[in-house]
Amino acid sequence: MSKKINVLLVDDSAVVRQVLLAILSDTPDIHVMGAASDPIFAMDKLAKEWPDVIVLDVEMPRMDGITFLKKIMSERPTPVVICSSLTPRGAETTLQAMAAGAVEIITKPTSGLKNFLLESAPELISAIRAAAQVNVRNLGRRPAPAPLTPATKLTADAMLPAANGHAMAQTTERIVALGTSTGGTQALEAVLTALPRVCPGIVIVQHMPEKFTASFAARLDSLCQIEVREARNNDRIHPGLALIAPGGKHMMVTRSGAFYHVQVVDGPLVNRHRPSVDVLFRSVAKFAGRNATGIIMTGMGDDGARGLKEMLDAGSSTVAQDEASCVVFGMPKEAIKLNAAQRVMGLHEIAQVILHR
């Protein structure tokens, strides 16, 4: 029998602790080693036993979750799943947690909490399993989430037909498409902060819940020389701008004359995600072809692998992040297995690819 994932729950809500304990106790491969109402009590438990994964609220008495998380990452980097409320304040605080090294987000409402947690049990369990697989050596280096929701696994066919191999002719307008998931917030910060103000236009899918992407983009914008913001429907892609797909929406690239724009649309989950990297990459293959570079980075699962292959077949340059620098090697590994990546390289090299192809 494989080793169980030891989990510590830290949340000041007795209801949350009770429901999460019940959910996880019924999961064969997960063992709850303890529950604490705040980080001070949690530290007492950590002194006796260390978990594989910590499920952490961020707004708590005595010591806030961010301070506790930074302490954990400095002493013994450990995968942390953040349980945060879907409020503007909650989003901002959660982004601070991601910057400190958290790897997954589970969102919770301000009301109807018990029923929501019961309904979200598969998402929570998937998040814990994903967190247990991260490369802890790469945690906490810079600013993560990719809740895996059980659903019929649709492909990018659900949003648009495959490219026909005849993408529009090459122009001087070049774009970069970037897809990432678990660990991606740290990776994106490392790449985007290394770029000068003048660089190709960038479109990004980072698996992240609704309401978090706007705050995430604003945080990156404050750190970068380039402009970074959440994409809006019909935004033009232009040099010096990075557009991040909104959580809960798909983002696709289209072309009008010599210029590229994005469409931000509703649609079903693709590869169990919305936004989906495959949807973005397929649209880039279809409308940009040789004018594009596709980059797949750290993340759980295989979203983006097939789309990167479609980009390569359409004439795009393609890159996968290497295992040594990934928090989770899943998505790049699947792309490499499909021979979708022309080059495999470390995180520190990717900014140079964006600049020089």
Show which residues are catalytic. Answer: 181, 207, 303
Q: Which amino acid type is present at position 273?
A: H
Specify the residue for token string 């289209």.
Answer: 254
Query: Which pair of structure tokens corresponds to residue 100?
Result: 């400190």
CA angle at 248 for the pair 322 and 79, rounded to the nearest 5°: 45
The CA–CA distances, whole Å, from 256 to 9, 161, 229, 244 equal 51, 18, 22, 20
Longest alpha-carbon distance in the chain: 64
CB 245 within 8 A of CB 276: no
Cα–Cα distances (Å) from 55 to 15, 33, 35, 202, in that order, read 15, 12, 9, 33
- Report d(CA 197, CA 165) in Å as an integer: 33
